[in-house]
A and B are shown apart, each in its own frame.
Chain A
Amino acid sequence: MQKIGVFVCWCGSNIAATVDVEAVAEAVKNEPGVVFSANYQYMCSAAGQKLIQDAIHEHHLTGIVVCSCSPRMHEATFRKTAESAGLNPYMVEIANIREQCSWIHKDKEEATAKAIVLAKAAISKLRNDTPLQAGTSAVTKRCLVIGGGIAGIQTALDVADAGYEVDIVEQRPTIGGRMAQLDKTFPTLDCAACILTPKMVEASQNEKINIISYAKVEKVSGFVGSFKATIRKKARFVDETKCTGCSLCTTKCPSRKGKNEFNMNLDNRGAIYIPFAQAIPNVAVIDPEQCIKLKTGKCGLCEKVCSAGAINYKQEDELIEREYGAIVVATGFKPIDPSPLNEFGYADNADVVTSLEFERLMNAAGPTKGTLLRPSDGKHPKTIVFIQCVGSRCEENTKRGKPYCSKICCMYTAKHAMLVREKYPDTDVHVFYIDVRTPGKNFDEFYRRAAEQYGVDYIKGMVGKVAKEGDKLMVQGSDLINNEQVHIAADMVVLATAIEPDPTARSIGTMLTASMDTNDFFTEAHPKLRPVESPTAGIFLSGVAQGPKDIPETVAQAGAAASKVIGLLAKDHLVTNPCVAQSNELMCNGCSQCEKVCPYGAITYVEKEVRGPGVREVRRVAQVNPAVCQGCGACTVTCPSGAMDLKGFSNKQILAEVDAICRW
């Protein structure tokens, strides 16, 4: 018979205000097996833990039940407490009487009754607990970073700096991401390329960093410390080891219909191209959709002009399989398509552009070589209207946009407005805004400089219509401060479009079993205390993949993610969860159902001699690899013969809990 101690926590007033904790401790005192029960204000505090340890010693307890918060919060704490008092840590059960009881009930009597039942269920389970031993698993000392923007680059550099190997997998032909497309950065107005490209070069020259560009992660299996990834490196039809990046081929290519993605499709590029001058790797790539040779078999001009002999029309996709200890998600963002927001006339008017398009129009390496010319007729715009919050902060459940604030738009709009006034002082600049949000170091000063020194006309209110009239765009909006309608004849309208996660994020999240919110941003393990870790062990978050943020925040988060990765990779072994499935070979009928439902590939079938009472034969039976099993329990509910069971959560234990609850 076990000797069980029950410890009821007040959690200050969190539990005690709604649950009569003394009554709970009193009610379970005479449950079978219980030899001690107590209540205390903060069981997780040093004094509370001491109370538990003392009771273990004094009453020779074989197991404890702590009635407190969710096991996600403090199960590990109390396991450690028990272990240091000489108890097996898996002889600890938590009855969640906070999240599942006191926080959701108002009536004290009802809540107390429920807390008693939850405590009794935990006691019943504990009566069936057996000590479990945790094993260990090795840590592969290599990190996978998905996404090669500033977030991914920074994480990779920091992890590599600590001496670990890093692979950056980037879907585009070059690393650099969104930041490479920017002209200047707020609030210092230094040029984005000037601060980004040295980092790109640093990453490419770092011998610990391996850049796998024009590639995607296709499959991931395994678990923390021991992931296995399959990476598809798409055929670029150019031999990376031979190409010198001279770009002669790109100037000779007769195909000119491919949209230049780097310039937000504002101009065209050849079928063979290098995305931009500072691309890393500085290697050409052939767009098979546009290449005349690949489509018709004729042409081959690039091959003729390439003195390095790097062109290879027969190149095929390459599959790379590699093991990693940690995976960092740095998949970034894209601006939304504002076309469905019809009032802004984006789809109908070439001179209504998004901010990222505007960024390219202002950039010296952009389609207009840095001279601000409007797309429709190449004229200098004399009046520009900026509209903030396009597709951000929308009512939920409408399809008009995102419910969240995209965070960066106020600042980049102030930047655009200021740059225009600086470069073209004869240009009138108006900004429509709902609020101007500038909480960042030197941010508000920056915005005020735009409004006060650069004469940017800030109008509080939203725009209801952008309509073409002759060669002007008539912008109709409301001025909420003067309480009037304003009509501005503009030459160009710039939409500060909301940002959303990169479209690949959802499938990557599914592949990694990393949870995401309804907007497809990755969720963190704790919104305040564990902001760079996914709830899935071994998966870390870097940059906008987790939520909208600007460059300094992205870099800070990338460094934080790197430090978590380094902390993991610095360990040689990880303690594994002993709550894994095991198969009773005597009962297994070899049906393979469990193998099919196992999401981790932990179950295999073997031919084995089975010996039991009256049984001695060779059978096909299931075997669980405890290093791979994550203890999800899918196999135990699938098994038709009841041969599969989960340690720590056995059918017997769970039925004992259900039984206790049903006696209520």
Chain B
Amino acid sequence: MLEVSGLTTRYGAIAALRSASLHVGSGEVVGLIGPNGAGKTTLLGSIAGLLSPDEGSVRFDGADITGAAPEKLLRSGLALVPEHRRIFVDLTVEENLRIGGITVKASERAELLDEMAETFPVLREKWATPAGYLSGGEAQQLAIARALMSRPRLLMMDEPSLGLAPVLVDLVFELIDRLRSQGRTLLVVEQNAHRMLEVADRAYVLRSGEVVTSGTGAELAARDDLFDTFVGGA
């Protein structure tokens, strides 16, 4: 479904991402783990059109989408829940969701809103509240629900558990598990490597901008050596 090959992205002279390659198949949950500054966010940003890669290619369902604009990528079925959630704090919960569904037809948007209200009861309770008043966990659920409003075929998430209390971290991983059981395709960047490997079908390990290893969640979880160098990974 998603095929990334030899992707290099530089900030000035510094290559934050060096010839990274990965693939995500339909219905898979793929994790992207690694320490701080490994280039995980750069990789997602380069796929989603927020950053322009300098070398390499990104193919989505066979079509070359390298360097395409984010609004175009979203229309082809690729959504990103950005780092730090980036919800619109002055807009209400409902308005945030509506924006997420700007690309779908009005009738379908109404259906999706009902669906989100059902899937995320906390959001339904705060439907008309400005999103700035949500707690961290609620805001994360809103960010994910907002991305789901576009009916993406591939959902990418950047650090969904970052900055959340442990009980809410549990909730985020339960949610990832639930999305997996719905047959959705996910590519998730996580610093919380152990938890990610529990829910991922496969994962890639990034370090200093390079993909150093990959394997199934269980294989990687068994490799203690991987975790020694992680900051906050244990």
Q: Bound pair: A and B?
A: no
Residue positions of A touching B, CB distance < 8 A: none
